[in-house]
Structure formats: structure tokens, C-alpha cells
Structure 1
Amino acid sequence: MKTFTDHRAIVFATLSILLWQSSRAEVSPELAAAAAPLAEGVPEVAVMRLQTLLGRNLPDEEWRAVAEKLAEALVAAKQPADALTLLAAPRLREISSTIFWRAQALASLHRWTEALPLYEESARADNSPFRESAIFGAAEMLRALERRDEALQKFFILFPDKEWGTQARLRSAELYIDKYDAVNARRVLDEMQPKSTAERKERRLLRGRLELVLQRPERAIGAFQALLKKPKSASHAVVIAALSGIADAHLQLKTPETGDDVLEDFIERHPQDVDLALIFGKLDELYRAERKLSRNELERWARDPAQPRRGFAQWYLARLDLRAGRRDRALESFAALRRNETKSAALAPALLEYAQLKLEERDFDGAIAVLNEARALQPEATLRDRIDLLTAQAQYLAKRFEIATATFERIAHSPSPWAKLSLFNASIGWLQLGDHARFLADYDEFEKQGGDEESRAEMRLEEGLVQAANGGDKAADALQSFLRDFPRNPRASEAWVALAELAFHSTPPRLDEAQKDLVRATESKPTAAAAERSDYLMIWIKDAESANGTDVVELANLFLQKHATSSFALDVRMKLAETYYRRQDFPNAQTQFELLAQQNPPGPLTEKALFFAAESALSSMGAHSLDRAIVLFDQVVRLNGELKWAARNEQAVIERKLGKPQDALLLYDEVLKSDAGPSEKREALCGKGDILFEMGGNVNYRRAVDVYDQLASDKEEPTHWRNQALFKKGLCLEKATDRAGALSAFYEVLENEARPGRWRELFWYYKAGFNAARLLEDDSKWESAAAIYQTLAATGGNRSEEAKARLNRLRLEHFLWGD
């Protein structure tokens, strides 16, 4: 909805000229005394007195007289909502004059469309004391609705009127200026004969604006400066409009640096002016036009305690930073504004902008909190509707569909200018909640309200998209129906991509069908969203088709070039990194994992990326790869996440490779004394035992045996860990010349595998078996060695043939053929 532009703010005050007259000839002394402050320009006192009087047990006629005057006072005191509540009382319905006050209240709430017919009805009433006021009000409503020619016709009616004629001419001249009709604007200004100084100053203002229309900014500046130098008798609105006019003139002259001095001087001298919002807005226009902008004034005002200037300075500093791409600084300025103890209702739009930024950051609860604070400032109705709408959108994005849909429905069935948009959103909300009947009801209502074909098509498309996202059985039918009914819709490509996604995620995946749907999407002039999702899906299709990853690497790199800011970018970079890693292209894998960690806030994904970046560095052949791996693993540790102790174990492995066994032992001991999980502690025990074994010497062998015994002692340990520990224990005992103990340890592995119901682990099983047989052969115990080879051969694993060959060799060499 379009509202008055800045210069129009000078005239709407006319609607607040509340007439000290009544439709009643006789006024009681008590009523006259209570209402007297209204005529004296202090309506707030009149409201208090009239409310007290109304609270008495008055006869109906006196009650109506007091209520009518109270409604008038409420409008004058800028309490239009309370005035409307009062005017809805049944006892006031028969009084025709209340129609005018209802129109005044609605106009104060910027509800132009509702106020217009009431003004027109009041103007048609016989013997109405408000006829001319109502005509003027109707003209103003038409002007607000940008129905300029109709507004001019209303103003022409008032030209002969002594009371309203000058105001009507001023408004007509302004309308002609808005239409860039300089000839008629000059004619009306020349013909009028203003009586008061205030009217003459307003005419001078309009002459200045006329010079701007005629592209004579120097003359316009002269007219505006004359008003500012001698502002006496000029209304505040005229002064503000003159300031705005000077800014526009300097924009025409392309000298914004000069124009901003005038506005900055006014702001400096009037830090609490009621129209600071308009002045800062115009100042921002000048700043946008400047080549070399100075932030000094805004930064100084942002530190000064004077309000509301401080809040406006913080707001417009944030805007400057946003335009300069300094988003973090902008968020800091908005946060500082939010922390101010006192905030004007004029700053509610700033909080709305802040909430929008938080939504873009996906901080939904933060956005809702800011919007609640904006609503608490009690802004005008149109802005309050925008706040409610954005709150509902935040709830929707946070997947709180029930709350969001209820809010959308409320706005949809209100006089809000956002009603139709809210009805659209409410219908989609019902889809998310699985209430298809309510969706259809809203769709029908939208159609009856004259919803355009494009919007109806979008609702049908959203029906299919939401069902597809939620795994609905009828999603494909809904999407196909949309494509049949709206084949040339600009978003047809999105339906084809959604169909491709359904085919890909089916069981089993229909990869050929998915690719054909993506081709149709490409042929349908894809939207940006469709192109992004299509490129994303193709990566996973190619990943499912081929194991070598060549296409995946190419498509993933292309996606990141084309859609760098996509919400899918993190997933794609992870897939690219994993593909490089799987192909053993460790340098590229490391690069992608590190980029992923840098671009993602601290969390599980960042931790995983850093961990595998370190693993990639560990696996590469670079000169400093091990040092880099240690640094990356240390970053994982500092994140204090699930991979912390796994990273410590990997650091210990690197220290072993670097020939620093004592450092590695310290790291393993840190893991063993920590709250690490069983798998990390098993890894640390095994690593510690391996280091002690590598260090050599009987003392270290015995220490290693103790560690391996600890690892093998838990009967519930995974079999491969227990078998590994027993095998390595046997090696230690053999090195310590305890051959009997070594044989016993090796044989225990074979015994474990022989137990029924155990998962078969053959790697350490074969190693232990062959080593046990070797020890027996070394001791010339051929029969026992043959028995072990026979057991290994009967196992049926990948080394069974090797065991058979050794068994046959042993039998041939030592004549061990049995019966």
C-alpha cells in the first residue's frame, strides 16, 4: 500500500482541526466545563474529564451528548482506537454526527478506504454541521489513495467556501504539483488569497516545490531558506517540508554534501523533534548520493544520550554499513539501538528491519523477540500489521506452523493491506499442518476475492511442493495437475524439479526418470530456485550412478561457482570433499574440508570437516602435512565436541610417526584418564601398548603386556579388539623370550573364535594362528603345528588355502599322514 510521501505530512494535520461545534443546540454547563480544554488545545485533559462525566448515571440524551464530545476529544488526543470503541456503542448509532467522528478516527489510523465512505455519507447528510469538513476529509482520503483527479473534484466544491476555500486551493495546488502539472499549480497559487500568515507561508512552500517541478532548484532553495530563516507563524509541518525541499533541490543540483549540512544542523538543534523520522530519512537520501560520505555526525549522535536522535543515528548507521557490505557492523548498531532504555514508536520500523536481518541469519527466535519489542512501541496500524505478518513468517520458517497459520488467518480476515497475502500464506500453512480441507477453503476464498491467476497458480504449486516435502502420497498428482492447468507458468520448472526429486527418493530410485524431469525443467526456462535445486540434485544422481566420482567432482565444483550463497553449498562442499577423499586425492580433500570449516559456524559439521581435513593432511605426502594435521586435530579438540578424543588419538599417531613416543604416550594417557567413550579408550590402550612394544626392552614388553591384558579383559569388547590385544600380547611375550606364554596368547585367539555364537573376526585370528604354528614348528612340534594349520584351513577364510598348503607341506616333510 502506498501512503503519503514526506511532503504530504504537512497537510494531513488539517484533518485534526476538530471543530468546536455540536449537532446539539443546548450544552449543559457540566459538559461545557469538561470539554473546555478541547477548545483550548489540551484534549488529554478533556478526555479525562469527559470520561469521569460519562461514568455517572446520566439520562440517555445527556450520555449521548457527553459520549459524542468524548469521541471528538479522543481523536484530537490521538487515541483513535479508543474513539472507535466508544462510537460502536449502540446508544450512539442513531446520531448522524458520529459518522463524521468515526471517519476522523479511521483516518487517524490511516484506514483510508474505510474512512472515505463515512466522510461521503456525512457530507450527504441534511443540515449536517460537518458537511464541508467531511468533503475535505473525503478529498484527503482520495489523495491518500492516489485517486488524484477525484480528490481535485472534491476540493473544487470547497473553493467558494470562506472557511475551507484557502485550504482546498492549497491542497489542489499540491495535487497538481504531484502530477507535475506546473501550469495549473501556478494558476491555483496565483488565484488564491490567503488570509493568515500560516497560509501565506504554506503557499510559499508550495511555490518552492513548484520550482523543483520546473527544474529550477536554485530558486526553490531560495523559497525554502526564506521559510527557515523566518519560521514564525509557519506550522511545524511546513518547516519540515521546507527542509525536505532543500534536500530535494540539492539532489537535483548534485550537491548532496551541501544539502546534508542544513538537515544535520536541524537535527543537532532539535534532538527530540517529533518528525525526526522524516528528517533522517531525507538525510539518508543525501548520504546515498554522496561520493565521499562522512559518518562523523551519525557516530557522534549515536553516542550522545539525547533520544530519540540517538536511536535514529544508530538505525541509519546500520543502513550505511549494510550498503557498504559491513553486515556485522550493521547488526552491532541495531543491537545497540535495541538496548536503549527509551525508544520512540517512530523507531519501530528500525526494529522491523533488524528482525528482517535476523530472519536472513535464520535466527528465528531472535527475530520474533525483536518484533515483539517493536509491537510494544504501539506503532500505527499499517506498521503493526507488517510486524504481525513478519512474526508469522518467522514462526513459519521456524516450523511452528500452527502459530504461524493462526496469525496469517487473523490478518487475512482483517482490514489490513496485507490481508490477501496473508490468506495466501495461511493456505500454505494449512498444507503444512496436513489440513487439506482448510487449504481448499482458503483457496476458494482467495479465488472469490478476485485472486489473480498467477497467485492461484502459485497456491496450486505450493500444494504440490509442500506435499512433496512432507512425503505425501498425492504429491506427484498435485504437481502434474499444476503442470497441466498452468503449463506456461513461470514456475513450471520448479514443479519438474520436485517431480525429479520424488523419482530420485523413491524406492528403488528411478534415476532415468529423475534425469528426464530435470531436462524438462531446463526446457521450461528455469527460475533461479529451480536451477539451483536441479544442479544440486544432479550431483546426487551422478553419485548414485557411478563410484569413480569424476562427474560428482565436476558438478560439485560447478555448483559452488554458480550458487556460492546457496543453502545447499555446505552439503555440496562436504560431498566434494568426501569424493576427493574417497578417490585418495588428499590435498584437494584437505582444501575442501578446511573451506567447509571456515564457512560454517562452530558445530558438529565444522568439527567433522576439521577432523577429515586433518585426516587428509595425515594421508598426503606434503612436506609439512603432519604438522598441519596436528594443528587441525588440535582445533577439533578445542571445539570440545564428539570427535575431541578421537582427534587426540590421531595426534598421538602423528607423534609416533615423528619419532616422539613419549609425547604420544602423554596424549594416550590423557584420553585414558578422560570421559572419552569406550571406542576412543580402546584405541588409546592399543596405541599405548604398541608404543611400549616398539620401544623394546623387557620392562617395556611387560608394561605392554599389562596394557594388552587390560584391553582384552572385557569379555564384551568387540572381537577384533580382543583378538588384536591377545595377538600383540603374544608378540611381546615372544620378544621377552616367554615362548610358552606367547603360544598361550596366540592360541587363546583361536579358542575365542571357536566359541559358538560369536561374530567371526579373521584378520587377527589368522595372524595369531600362523604365529602359534610357527612357534610350534620352531620347537619341532610338528603334530601340534599341523593341528593348528588344520583348524585354520577348516575356517574357510581368505587364508584357508595358505593354511592347507602349509599343512600339506608339513605332512609331506614329516610323514604326518593320519588314518
Structure 2
Amino acid sequence: MCRARRTILCLQVLFGLGTLTLHAEGLEENHDFRLAKQALSDGLPGVAATKANRLLEQNTWSSTDRLSLAGLAVESWVRAKDGRAALAVLSREQVPNQPFWEAQAQLLAGDLDAARLSLESRYQANEATSQEKLLLAQVWLATNQTSLARELLMSLKKSPLELTSKSARLMLDELDLNSGNYQPAVQDLDKLSQKTGSSMSELLRARGLVELGRYAEAESLLRHLISSTGGGERVHHSASVLLADTLLRQDKTSECLETLVQFLDNTSESLLWNEAFELLAKTLEKEPRNILPPDAVLRWMTEGNTVQRQALQSPPSVEKLQGHAILLMARWLLNQKRTLESLGLLEAMVQLHHGHPQGAEAMRLALETYGTLKADRRVTTLANEWRLRYGAGQSAMVDFVTGGTAYARNEYTQAISLFQAAANVATTLAERRAALYNAGVAALRAGELVLYQSILGQLEIVSAGTNSNVPAGDAASDLELDRVLDLAAKGDPSATDELRSFIQKNSGHPRLAQAHLALAETLLAQIPTDFPAIEETLKTLSALPGLSERQRQQAAITRMWMLDKQGQIKALTDAGNEFLLTWPESSHSASVRMKIADAYYRQENFASARTEFELVAKDYASSPYADTALYFAGMAAISMMSDEGRETAINLWQELAERGGPLSIPARQQQAMAKRRAGQEPEALKLLDSLLTEKDLSEDMRRSLLCERAEILMLLGKTDPAQLDKAVTTLREMLKENNLTYLWSARAGYTLAAVLKAAGRTTEALEACYDAVQASGYTGPSNPAEHRWFYRAGFFGIELLEANKEWESAARLAEKLALSSGERATEAKELATRIRLEHFLWDAK
């Protein structure tokens, strides 16, 4: 599937247009308003917006004050990149230059059409500023109105304002690169780089050089960008991925792998992870099959990368990186023909990483893989889950695979509908041709001849201009057999007749057994399946003289697949057990026992399934199935719905987790789920409530109990969100108390931030941290206890900002903590330096 190249240019006009001028002499006496303005100045727009919103809820302001408050709220929400919140304020309040701010908010909210209409209206009325015109050009580009965008940018390129002219020029050059006009773009970017030395222009120029095949120049330029300390994080990340792409195009696979691993292992989070992992997968697939993925991939799957492991608390991006790594390993295993292991990882990805950016890709790969294995029931289940998550009709692949499943069940009418739906949403002619072809075959099977003719007409249209390669058949017997076996491998409909013809004409051929095996397997793949013909073929095969043990084993395995397709699960397990008795040392023993275990699992005979999976893990510990078997042994054990089964599952997954293999992370995830099922409601809350009824409690004891009570409510809130609201109420009431010392103010503020974070109210959590650091009348912590909560609130605020990728604001807050006199001041200073270095913020500093 073709992927559109991600645009590199990040237009800064959205947040660089100046600020709303606030004239509010009366407001300046209000402490919360001053604190909101200070928060915005400190690079914490979310905190500023939250405070401004809270002030707007009061109805005591004059019209001028209200205009200023609304302006502060809107600007803060826009700078916090929360367009919906900004629009909510704009729907209720008036602000200066309202149409412009509405357009920015709409763009942030993803409503491109509304932003476009608003900006176009101002542009046509000659009211748009140069920055608004740049924003309009960006919107036009996003909506594929490139001609209009180019015309507008050409006029802005002549602007006397240097920043406007430069921005328009960069956008035009990137537009040329996206359109394939590489040479003109590179020539202009070369001039622009010499004039301004802009990192963005250098990055775009490097991209153009890559497309022109001037790899050495591009590589040198990209290495220079990566080694620089300025330019911003996005430029550095883009340069790293583009450098890896450049190296791969030069067949420098080792350097490419090293570059990608270094990038992925040293970024806490990046918008370019998708591209980097896609490039890593492409690199591994290009290498010989004995090349293993980098060791770092296994670390990423289990515990995140180096930067994430060094964090004080595990950042949310760990799960995202783990999902990428799991999918990468699954793709590699598939490429290695290790299908069952790959499916184990894909299942973990689908079930445990819901909402991951690559979740749809993992489910697509699982669907296709199960489809090739004819696992109809699982295909149907996953297809239904796909539609619940991503909506019906969004994927030709889902309808195509489920159409095949319906066809396999002889449900031809449903198969026709699904294949036609796949054709209607197909993104390529090849997909549409395949879907229409299958729809036509299903129509023939259903006896719908009129519909068949209609589908055939559509197929002829989309097939116009394509070549049909028909293999020749005039050759010697060995070559003829090779040709026929190739037809069978490709699933050619003529393979059955060709094989039968070869067997009839060459009854004494030394490779006759190969032909019979291929015929049995081809018949097994046909829809509908002629089971009597397969039985007859296998019977004839078994009577042939000189069969090798390998051929006998293959015949037995083919019979097992036939029984599986017939739904004869009991016969399948019997045949599998007979195979193991006959050939206990066979190289197929592990896969056969896995097949037996799978059959028991599908029968919901979890005790037997658990036994078989455990035998695979024990007796074939060095096989590629061992970890997968151990994983599903745990699944079977916990499915027994008993305390013993749950404990066994936990122990099995613990063993798997300790191995550190590809399935260690899903095993740990299953452990967590199993332990949660066994958890008991804490009795601590009752004890705290009882203590709080005592009349002789000192203020410090009461406040300590209140904070502890809030912490317990936060833990209970994991299963009952209403408990989180109770915790928030408890802490806010405590913070309103008179004569509250800084110690309790900071401790309650930090605890409130933790509770709000647990409730998903991240902006309010950040506000609570900020208030704890900037407390009213605060002159600095005076003792170790106060320093403790001061630092906990401050460092937690930094973590929230880093999680939201607000690196400049995080660095500023760390620098504020560094000015204190406590024992963690040096740590804060080092943290501020690290943030600025890692995210290339020295220019901004």
C-alpha cells in the first residue's frame, strides 16, 4: 500500500501571531488573573486557560473585564492546542479579532472546512492579514486545493515582511517536492539556506537531494543537521529518519539499522515513530533470512527504550513504543514463516493495545494471516471486532477476508455481498479486480447468472490494459511437473485438472508422490471442498511404493488439516495423537501437538488444552512454539475459571516474562489482568473514615488523614470513577481552609494533581502542580518536609508537560525548581539542561 510522505514543514504562524492586547486595570488586582497571566508567560497555556475559564464563571465582571478574560482564555486554549475548548469560549463570549481566532480554533479542532470558509471570507473581503493568508494557504494544501494555495503563496512570497516571505517560500518549495518538481525546489532551497541558514530549509533541501539520487550530498547535510543543537526536535527527528532512508537506498543496511535503533532508543516519543518502524521493517525484510532484529527491539517490547526507562515514572509513550515493537517482531516472524508465533504477538497487539496508532494494521495482518490458515471462526470474530472499532466499510481487506470465510461455509449470497463491498472500497485496481473476481465466482456458485454477467462486465472494465500470463505446457515430464506444482502453489483453478492429467500420463514417474500430495492439498484449498476426492487421493498415495517417512508424515498432516476443515475436532485430536505415537521424533511434532492443543482449546476443553500447551513448552523448549505454547497454556488455565487455574496462569506467565522473549510483555499484561480479577476491596477507607470521626484529632493529624483518604479514593477510582470525584472534593475543600500552612497546601496540591491525572483531567492536574509551586504568599520552602512536597508537585508538573510534549514549558518549570535551596535543586537544573539538549531548545533559550 502506498503511503503519502508526511509533510515536514510545521507552519508556526498558528502560535506566532502575537497576543491579544489585554486592557484590564480592575482585573490586575485579582490574584487568580495575575496567576493566569503568569502561567501563560511561563509557557503553561493550559493552566492559564483553566484559571481564566474559572474566572469567567463569575458574573461580577464588567463588560471590559469580561472581554479581557475571554481573550485570555481563547488565546491560552489556542496556545495549548485545544481548539474545541477555544471554540466553546468563543461561542459564549466576544473577543477582539474574533474571526481570526475562530479560524485558528477550528483548524486545531480538525474542522478544516469551517476554518477554510472563515479565512476565505476574510480574504475575499480584503481583511486577512499576511499571517491569516499563510494559514489559509496551509488549509488549502490540507484540502488538496494546491492551485489556489500556490497562487496565494506566490503573492505572499513577494511580501515586504521577511518572515511572511520566507514562510511562503518554504511552503512553495515543499509543495514542489510533494509534486515531484525536485530540481527547482532544491535550487531555491540552496539559495534560501545560504541566505538564512534555516534548519527547515536545510531539511527540505536534503529531502530533495535524496529524491534526485544525490545521496552523498544528502547524507552529509543530514548528519550536519543531526549534530546541531538548534532547529527543534521535529527537524532532528525528521533528519534521522530521512538519513536512514538515504542509507537504505544506498544499500548501507547496517548503517541504516544503527541509525534507526539510535533514533528509536533515544526518543521518549515522536510523531515519526510510524515511519521509523516502517523503515526498520523494510530494512529487515531486505536482509537475508538469517538476520535477526536488533536486540533493542526485545527491550522495547518489554520495558521501553533507554530514555523511557530513565524517567521517574513510566511515561504513556512506553505502551506506544511497545506496540510498534510488537508489530515489527510479528511482521519479522511472518517473514520467517513462523506463523503461529507471529499470530501470538498479533493477538497480544489487538487485544492489549487497543487505540494504538498501528492497531488497525495489526488487526489487518492478523485477519489476513488467519485467512490463509482457513481459521474461519477467528476471522469472523476479528472482522466483527474491526467493525466495532473502526466502523463498517472502511477496509476492503476486512470484507475480502470475511467474504472468503462466508464462501468457505457455502454462504454464497453473503460472500457476494462482502466481495462487492470490498470492491467498492478498494483503494487500488488490483484489490478491486481480486474482489470482483471472487464475487463473480460466488455468484456462479449461487446460481445468480444475471448478477454474474454484471460483475463480469465490471471486471472487464477494471482489467482493461492488464496482461494475462498463461504458462506453456509443452515440456519434459520433470519440467511439466514443476510447472503444475507451481500452478498448485499459486492456487490456480486449473491446477487440479493439470495434476490429475500428470498422474494419469506418468503413472510410473519417480516423483508421483509429490503430485498426489499436491493434488490432496489443492483439493483441500478448493471451495467447496471435495472431501471424498481428498480421501481417495490420500489412500492412493499411501499405497505407492517407496514413500519416504517425510512424505508419509506430510500425508498425515494433510489429513489433519482436512479433518480440521471438516470440523471433526475429535477426529483431529485422535489423528494428531496417532501421529505423535508413530513419529515421536518428527520435526513436525511440536507443530502437531500445538494443533492438538488448539483443537482442545476450540472445543473449550481447557484442561486438555492446558496440558498439551504445557507439553509443547516443556518437551520442545527450544522450538519456536515454546513461548507461544506457554502463553496459551496460561490462557487455557485462566479460562478454567478457578482459583487454581488463575494462580497457575499467573505462574506460567511469570515464567514466560522471566524469559524475556517476544511474548514476555503480553504475558506480564495477562498477569496484571489475572491479579486484578483476584483483588479485594481495600478496607483502609473504612478505617480512615472511622478515624476522621474522632473529635480530639489535631489539625495536622486530620489533614494527614484527609490526604491519605484521598489517596485511597484514588486507588478505588481505578474501578469506580465516582471515587475520584470524592477525592477531588475532599482535597479542594481542604485547600480552601483558612490558615493552611504551606506544607499542607503543597501536599494537598500534589495529591490533588495525582487524583486529577488519574481521572484524565490532565490540564487541571497541571494547574494543581503549578499552584503548589506558586502558592499565594509563598516565599520558599522552609524545611525538608515542605521541600519534599514542593519538589514532588514541581517534578510531577514537569512529567505532565513532558507527556504532553510541551518541552519549553517543562524546561522553564525545571529551571524554576532549580532556583530553590533544597536538595533536589541540582537535579532540577540538570533536568532542565537535559530537556533543552534532547529537544534542541537552546535557540529558544
| TM-score of the aligned structures, taking structure 1 as reference length | 0.49
Q: Which has the larger radius of gyration?
A: 1
Higher relative contact order (CA 8 A, sep 6+): 2
TM (normalized to structure 2)? 0.48
